[in-house]
Amino acid sequence: MSERIAPTLLVLDMDRTLINSDWAVQIYGQACKQEGLDIRDQLRNAQTAAEQTAGSFAARSDIEKRADVTPDLMTRVDTTFKELCRQYDHRDMLVFPETEMFLHRAGRLAIPHVILTQGDDPQWQQLKLEAAGLARIPHVIAGLNDESGARITKGGIIASWTESTTGVVAPVGAEPTLSGPQLRARHAVLVDDKGSSFIDLPADHDAYWIQRGMLRPSQQIPAGSEHMAQVITSLLQIDIESYAA
Ligand SMILES: [Mg+2]
């Protein structure tokens, strides 16, 4: 008997789709302060610069580069960051209000889902996943550029997961390989706040462009690469029942 393949794989961006990344940076600044480092102004400046250039901001690597920061101090800051995020009010601010409900519905409907997050610093992405309580969900942390320095898009990653026989096969282990754990479905649904993520997404997959408030420069889609992404303002606008088996 052949293995049953789910109709849909939800591919969910993390930063600004599931969590409020600006808040993560603020709490990280607070964790630094508690450990004796006041770097809040530097964080703000670095974030503004990264936003303008469509780059992802990695709070952690910016601090790690400082001459006065030892590995031991980094470990303490990371631990304090996770502790602060776990505090009730902070977690409410870090994770968007509808995120848990959306994930719960996807789970109840047995729709396979994976968090696909990109960043320059995989440790910072992992730390946010853990702090937000999302590390339990299968996730893939990808870089921003390939070995040749070319930009990697989420659409391109999903294209690389696309097969003619199954549909999509997403490797989701800690070190994703095609022989490790996988999620399989006939087609993918990508949810992301950055318009450029949809570039290279094969046309038979669905896309939702989540827009909460005004678009930042890094969230705009480059002219000439418009995609059929449906614009939404909340995850709950996705009719996920229609993607269930
Ligand atoms: Mg994002």
In the structure, what pLDDT confidence band is assigned to residue 229 with cuts at 50, 70 and 90? confident
Beta partners for residue 206, in sequence order: 189
pLDDT at residue 206 in the model: 92
- Coil, helix or strand at residue 241: helix
Tokens of 121: 């610093």
Contact 234, 213 (CB under 8 A): no
pLDDT at residue 224 in the model: 62
Say how many Å lie between the CA of residue 105 and the centre of ligand 1: 21
Please write the tens of the pLDDT for every residue from 124-153: 999 999 999 999 999 999 988 888 999 899
Say how many Å lie between the CA of residue 53 and the centre of ligand 1: 14
- Coil, helix or strand at residue 151: strand
Contact 29, 36 (CB under 8 A): no
In the structure, what pLDDT confidence band is assigned to residue 55 with cuts at 50, 70 and 90? low
Please write the tens of the pLDDT for every residue from 185-221: 999 999 999 998 998 899 889 999 999 887 877 777 7
Contact 209, 231 (CB under 8 A): yes
- Mean pLDDT, residues 7-24: 94
CA distance 111 to 6: 7
pLDDT at residue 193 in the model: 94
Residue type at 240 in one-letter notation: I
pLDDT at residue 1 in the model: 45
Say how many Å lie between the CA of residue 151 and the centre of ligand 1: 15
Which of the listed CATH numbers 2.40.160.40, 3.40.50.1000, 3.40.50.300, 3.40.50.10790 matches domain 6-19+96-243?
3.40.50.1000
Task: Please give the mean pLDDT across all residues of the chain.
Answer: 86
In the structure, what pLDDT confidence band is assigned to residue 50 with cuts at 50, 70 and 90? low
Please write the tens of the pLDDT for every residue from 154-193: 999 999 999 877 788 888 766 655 566 788 899 999 999 9
- Mean pLDDT, residues 54-81: 83
pLDDT at residue 231 in the model: 92
pLDDT at residue 84 in the model: 94
Domain regions of the chain by residue span: 6-19+96-243, 21-92
Cα angle vertex 224, ends 219, 225, to 5°?
A: 55
Contact 181, 138 (CB under 8 A): yes
Say how many Å lie between the CA of residue 235 and the centre of ligand 1: 13
Instruction: Output the pTM of the full model.
Output: 0.89
Share of the chain above pLDDT 90, in %: 52
Say how many Å lie between the CA of residue 68 and the centre of ligand 1: 31
- Mean pLDDT, residues 89-94: 84
Contact 139, 117 (CB under 8 A): yes
Chain-centre distance of CA 110, in angstroms? 21
In the structure, what pLDDT confidence band is assigned to residue 82 with cuts at 50, 70 and 90? very high
Say how many Å lie between the CA of residue 49 and the centre of ligand 1: 16
